[in-house]
Amino acid sequence: MYHLDRMISKPMYQQLYEQIKKEYQVEAKQVKLPSIRELAKELNISKTTVEQAYNQLVAEGLLLNIPQSGFYFLPAEPDSKWEQEIDNEVLERRQQVDFDFRYGTTFFYTASWNSWKRCVKKAMEQEFLDERSAYQDVQGNDRLRSELVKMLGRTRGVRCRKEQIVITSGSLDSLDIVLNLLKRKSRHFQAAIEDPGYYAAGHIFTRNGFPLQNIPVESEGISISKLALSAADLVYVTPSHQFPMGYRMSVARRQQLLQLIRERQGYIIEDDYDSEFRYTTQPLPSLQSLDRQDCVIYLGSFSKTISPTLRLGYMVLPRHLVGEYRTLYQFDHERAAYMIQEGMAEFLSSGSYYRHISKAVGTNKAKYHLLEDQLNLLKAEGRIDWIPSDGGLHVVMEVLNLQETDVFLQQLQQHSLRLYPLSKYSFSVCRDQFFLLGYGGLSLEELTHGLKLLKQVVQNLS
């Protein structure tokens, strides 16, 4: 049983973190910790306090967060095969196939892992840790926001001051905050989202009471002509690498989108979720960099570059929304644990983050070209089509003349493969013959074997 002292200045999540760390057992690989909800109820504290403590331990490599399962003690060194030693219930959820083309998983290389742990340790060793962590700015760590100004300006052309940046627990958290701000304005916004698009973002809009209009995506991005026919004045887009189709919005279409929303005095929410991964061409500057009317709200996170378990994101607000944010959230808790924020600031300032990105881009470039070669062979046989994207961590494949999607998925399962139907991301148009192939979480060797098996299954389709 953990004991938290409310009478001392040390934050409760810090106390909980330290107590869990003391009982950390390297060899107890199957020990599962209480759920966030259970522990919060047991200690009579908020779920946010428990979540911050757990996330800090995840960041240090002491815990593993398995979706729909929970938090587990992790070995001292990162080991992607550790999951095989978890009980059968967890295995059934995560290890049903050998080659899972799941989107959103990434590798965190050993050298990067060690650098990250050093940065977090340095944050922990700061003499003023307790005082500084107890009184975090409502917008997040000052040093991290300063580093983000430099990073975003250099890599994405984003023009902002640190006062415009808010640190969050991820892009969806950022979106939730933005919509919470906008729905308090006197006007009622009409929202639009790309179709196909990020279904989780659509859920956040609906949850916040925004009726959604689904606007089809074309090869240059969201359809401006269809958007113009709607009444939408609040648009969520992924212009640098449209999710899930992979298209890159042209400069001309970006200008058209900006002009339309300026005329309607609305907002564009730009989710720049994986722009770091470009393999042969340079990424276009962000939509925000072209904005001269303060109508673009820019979202980003470290989920694709480091790990979704880090739960660390950020957004750049137009200047006129900053005051409204500070008023609405002035008594709110910090949205990411202090040490994770300070650790990330050190990771950026030391150059370790950029070295990690360089290695990750090189590794994923090799995987993309392997994927490109194998899919082009199947395309030449007239069996599939696919959408080259020259970036990101996934592609979209169309299986031509596919009669029964369920049968195809069962055949993949029999070969220990898993693909993801694009219908999951389509709001109105049926796309049962399209599939999303994520490759960020597969090694080059695994991808080679997986593509070989995929080729066999596709060639055996009647």
277-287 pLDDT tens trace: 999 887 788 99
User: Which carries the bigger pLDDT value, residue 175 or residue 403?
Assistant: 175
Instruction: Say whether both 17 and 144 belong to one domain.
Output: no
pLDDT in tens, 129-173: 555 555 578 999 999 999 999 999 999 999 999 999 999 999 999
Q: Verify that 163 and 291 share a domain, yes or no.
A: yes
Query: Residue 432: what pLDDT?
Result: 81
Confidence band, pLDDT 50/70/90 cuts, at residue 79 = very low
User: Is 101 domain-assigned?
Assistant: no
Q: Which of 33, 68, 90 is the last residue of a domain?
A: 90
Average pLDDT over residues 239-248: 94
Supply the mean pLDDT for the chain: 86
* 98 part of a folded domain: no
| Range in 27-31, 316-320, 327-331 the model is least confident about | 27-31
Which one-letter amino acid corresponds to residue 5?
Answer: D
Q: Domain check: are 225 and 77 in the same one?
A: no
Helices (H), 269-351: 287-290, 319-328, 338-349
Residues 62-87 have a mean pLDDT of 57
In which residue are the tokens 């995840």 written? 58
Residues 335 and 408 in one domain: no
Say yes or no: 44 and 166 in one domain. no
With CA atoms as reference, report the closest residue to 460 among 426, 410, 421, 392. 410
Amino acid 81: pLDDT? 39
Asked whether residue 328 falls in the same domain as residue 206, the answer is yes
Nearest to 455 by CA among 367, 363, 376, 366: 376
Q: Do 217 and 226 contact (CB within 8 A), yes or no?
A: no
* Co-location of 359 and 344 in the same domain: no
Q: Let me know whether 12 and 63 are in one domain.
A: yes
Determine the structural domain holding residue 175 and report its residue range: 122-350
Last residue of a domain, one of 315, 335, 350: 350
Give domain status of residue 231, yes or no.
Answer: yes
Q: Do 248 and 397 reside in the same domain of the chain? A: no
66 touches 93 (CB < 8 A): yes
Distance CA 305, CA 275 (A): 10
Number of C-beta neighbours around residue 453 at 10 A: 16
Q: Are residues 281 and 167 in the same domain?
A: yes
* 360, 329: one domain: no
Is there a single domain that holds both residue 260 and residue 388?
no
Asked whether the predicted pLDDT for residue 74 surpasses 70, the reply is: no
- Give Dmax over CA atoms of the chain in angstroms: 71
pLDDT band of residue 210 (cuts 50, 70, 90) is very high
Mean pLDDT value of segment 172-181: 95
Residue type, 227: L
Taking a C-beta distance cutoff of 8 angstroms, is the pair 97, 454 a contact?
Answer: no
The span from the CA of 271 to the CA of 287, in Å, is: 10
Q: Could you tell me if residue 381 is inside a domain? A: yes
